Amino acid sequence: MENSDPKSEYKDASDNIRHFQTVRFAQLTIFIAINVGLITALYGKPTPPPLVTCIILKSAGIVVSVLYWILQERTMLYWYHFMHRAVQLEEELGFKQYSTRPPAGWITGSNAVRLIYFAIILFWLLGLIWLT
């Protein structure tokens, strides 16, 4: 944003940070709902579905998980972009809202979400390996 007001850009960056954080958790909610639906279709009745149906549903679980993980990673990239921009603007404006956040180390919300996706993909892969 050339020749723009840094304070206005800072507000936009903050709004974008909140937006992409909300999008991340909306995606996660939809992803979990889809997986619950697939699990219910597979294990929600006393008699298991036919083998072909099991293979299709478990494969769909893998595909959906990988696609949503990609969406999540892309959304995180946008979040990080706006976070870094906000930190740059804080130097210019003398603000300290984002630049003084406590360091997270490796224990972060992003890594926790990655672990959720990894665990669910592993669940579906093991389900395909053991088709009983």
Rounded-to-integer distance, Cα 35 and Cα 67, Å: 13
| Mean pLDDT in residue range 25-34 | 98
pLDDT tens digit sequence for 69-121: 999 999 999 999 999 999 999 999 999 999 999 988 899 999 999 999 999 99
Q: What is the pLDDT of residue 2?
A: 59
Is a pLDDT exceeding 70 seen at residue 132? no
| Domain contains 1 | no
- 17 domain residue, yes or no: yes
- Structural domain tally of the chain? 1
In a domain, 59, yes or no: yes
For residue 25, is pLDDT > 80? yes
- CA proximity to 98, closest of 120, 82, 114: 82
Q: What is the reported pLDDT for 104?
A: 82
Per the domain annotation, does 13 fall within a domain?
Answer: yes
Q: Rounded to an integer, what distance in angstroms lies between the CA atom of residue 25 and that of residue 68? A: 11
**pTM, to two decimals:** 0.89
Residue type, 41: A
Question: Is 21 inside any structural domain?
Answer: yes
Sign of CA dihedral 66, 68, 69, 70: positive
Range of the domain at 89: 6-129
